[in-house]
Chains A and B, each alone.
Chain A
Amino acid sequence: MITVKLYSSIRKYGGKEIMFEYRKGLVVRDIIEELKIPIKEISIIILNHYDNTTDKMIDREVKESSLIHLFPPMAGG
């Protein structure tokens, strides 16, 4: 199973955490689309501890036990 964690405003699309069934060839985009999360609302994707912007991460293939964090644009400090 793949663990998908959602944060702040993206939680309206499925709460804090969703378990997603793995299948071969799955990329991050498939998961986001199947969860019906508008891609434009996502800014940073962390996949198995590697982080980058949506456009750089969206077509990465996931593994059977991948952990994905999805964040909207945010900053603070």
Chain B
Amino acid sequence: MFGYMGKLLRINLTDSTVKVEDLDFELAKKYVGGRGLGTKILFDEIDPKIDALSPENKIIFINGPLSGTPTPTGGRYMVVTKSPLSGTIASSNSGGTWGARLKYAGYDGVIVEGKAVSPVYIDINEDLVEIKDASHLWGKMVSETTDILVENKKKTNVLAIGPGGERLSKMAAIMNDKDRAAGRSGVGAVMGSKNLKAIVVSGNLKVSLFDDKQLKVTVKESNLKIKENPVTGEGLPTYGTAVLVNAINANGIFPTNNFQEGVFKDAEDISGETLAEKYLVRKDPCHRCLIGCGRYTKTDKVEGGGPEYETVWAFGADCGVKELDKIIEANYWCNQLGIDTISVGATIAAAMELNQVGALNDVDFEGVDLTFGNAEAIVYWTKKIGLREGFGDKMADGSYRLCEMYGRPELSMTVKKLELPAYDPRGVQGHGLNYATSNRGGCHVRGYMIAPEIVGLPEKLDRLSLENKPLWTKIFQDLTAFIDSIGLCLFTSFALGADDYAELYNGVVGTNWTGEEILKAGERIYTLEKQFNIAAGILPEEDTLPARLLYEPMPSGPTKGHVHHLDKLLPEYYELRGWDNKGVPTKERLKDLGL
């Protein structure tokens, strides 16, 4: 089978053993790679009920068959583990070059088990794989750790955690190539719980391709579609993902002050346009990416990668902050400390509302009040969260646990304890359904319904209508599961469709799949994740949204008066998925999907 390197590394940190295992090609074909294959391996090997931060949990770093190939954006990898934040399956995706490098080192994935007695890092240089002492790195920020480990070595990439992961923040990210993040679900804390600081990868092998000649033609066609598409060819390269700020705000779905409002009056100040005008140094593309949405920015205090749209929102509108330089600073500290910008910003926003309602009267704010609009607070408290100091320690496990601790769980804007991203579902009905049914909790990139509901891709749907939204959401979720499994970036889907992915996949792997078969593979993966969650004890009633979004009409703006109608959408969605009315997959559908 082409596209795969045919080898998995299994590293046990408890007994310091390294094994090379052959990839089961039949399993790889059925579950594709990345998110799909990672979930299958994890589900087969752990009891989903275990404590995510115990040595019994495993963490899998896994490529797709298209990672490291000439396909557009072919460089992404997935981190699959049980999430300490949500208790669900965690599959966190990242770009940069690390994923492709793992392929060039000869491996489709690395399965890490157990727990080291003291801090270690893993050094992979093709056939030479070693577990090394990391006591000199423990406590260091992500960029310093990366510099020390890369030294002057060529064709070497580093993935690491920062103090956030070491101190087991349930919002901890895994950072690679310094400022690329497998950001969500607290995957960094799983590394921290294993005393694993970093994985260094060096290698220069080639990925074998089924039909090199035909693939060249297919890749050229796909690249042309990406270049000629105004979104991937102009909007994202020029303004980055924050190009969305004004459009989301103009629709009245830009969550403001912890989802109390849907319009942020200072949106222009934190927009992609302002970012490009004032702080952008250059584009910062991932491996083999011709879109280049990544930003490299500089203020008078910091410089580095980002911020993304979601970050600008989380620290900006959600905290009522309009100072873009402070948002960039908060983003910088998230990257250094290795914590997720969405969850951290949203947790600070929740703390601000707790404070607004008088629930934090006894808290020592150290002179930096957690009040909406306080730009100093987002920087100060981000550092405190990453270091688990003072009240930052209380915030470090995310907004749900924080709000519950202070007796106001309803102020946590989360689904399955994962903080919601930057779109208020009251004004985007399909996207809200996606939030409620996302297998990792409140996530926008499991089925990005903003594409049809707001920006009109592949066609414009009425954002407030319920008609056909369950079907659209299901298709988006299934296609996304496939894209996440082959190792490409989701943003290619703004220019490419299921048939394009089928051609790229076939050209690399040597299959003869159609767009329909791709969607079926995606559905298989999605359903498998659901089975993992059920086995982990996630309850049917957790397929929901925060009460505010279901029962409190949007108070003002273009979405004024609307709530999210989950109760009208969920039954049809379950039926389309072949799940019963509690969201449990039926035997018939499982059989049909080969599960």
> Which residues of chain A have a CB within 8 Å of any CB of chain B?
5, 7-9, 11, 16, 41, 43-44, 46, 49, 51-53, 56, 69, 71-77
Contacts and interface: CB of A to CB of B under 8 A. Distances in A.
A-B residue pairs, 4 tightest by C-beta: A76-B241, A49-B558, A73-B230, A76-B244
A43 B455 contact: yes
A8 B240 CA distance: 11
Given A16-B268, A43-B230, A74 B247 contact: yes
B296 interface: no
Given A8-B272, A49-B558, A75 B310 contact: no
Interface in B421-454: 421-422, 444-445, 448, 450-451, 454
8 contacts: A69-B250, A73-B455, A75-B231, A75-B236, A75-B457, A76-B293, A77-B422, A77-B450
A73 B229 CA distance: 9
Contacts of B247: 7, 44, 69, 71, 74
A42 B45 CA distance: 51
A76 B243 contact: yes
B380 interface: no
Task: Determine chain A's interface SS by DSSP, over half rule.
Answer: mixed
Task: Determine chain B's interface SS by DSSP, over half rule.
Answer: helix
Interface in B225-249: 229-231, 234-236, 238-244, 246-247
B494 interface: yes
A9 B238 contact: yes
A10 B501 CA distance: 31
B526 interface: no
A53 B250 CA distance: 14
A8 B273 contact: yes
Contact of B444 (A16, A44, A77): A77
A74 B558 contact: no
Contacts of B238: 8-9
Contacts of B308: 76
A51 B251 contact: yes
B456 interface: yes
A8 to B, nearest CB: 6
A75 B451 contact: yes
B234 A46 contact: no
A47 to B, nearest CB: 11
Interface in B394-436: 421-422
Nearest to A48: B558
Contacts of A43: 230, 455-456
B86 to A, nearest CB: 20
B463 A51 contact: yes
A3 to B, nearest CB: 12
A75 B558 contact: no
A11 B244 CA distance: 15
A11 B455 contact: no
Given A44-B247, A76-B240, A76-B243, A7 B273 contact: yes
B104 interface: no
A41 B444 CA distance: 27
A22 B262 CA distance: 29
B107 interface: no
B589 interface: no
B231 A73 contact: yes
A41 B243 CA distance: 15
A51 B494 CA distance: 20
Contact of A77 (B234, B235, B310, B558): B310
A44 B252 contact: no
A38 to B, nearest CB: 12
B282 interface: no
A73 B250 contact: no
B460 interface: yes
A72 B235 contact: yes
A11 B451 contact: no
In the complex, which of the residues B246, B247, B308, B444 has the most CB atoms of chain A within 10 Å of its own CB atom? B247
Interface string B539-568: 000000000000000000110000000000
B231 A74 contact: yes
B309 interface: yes
A56 to B, nearest CB: 7
A11 B276 CA distance: 13
Contacts of A9: 234-235, 238
Nearest to A54: B456
A9 B247 CA distance: 13
Nearest to A7: B246
A72 B272 CA distance: 14
Nearest to B448: A77
A58 B242 CA distance: 26
Contacts of B491: 75
B285 to A, nearest CB: 15
A6 to B, nearest CB: 10
A41 B235 CA distance: 11
B309 A8 contact: no
B519 to A, nearest CB: 21
A74 B455 contact: yes
A72 B230 contact: yes
In the complex, which of the residues A53, A56, A73, A74 has the most CB atoms of chain B within 10 Å of its own CB atom? A74
A11 B272 CA distance: 13
B231 A56 contact: no
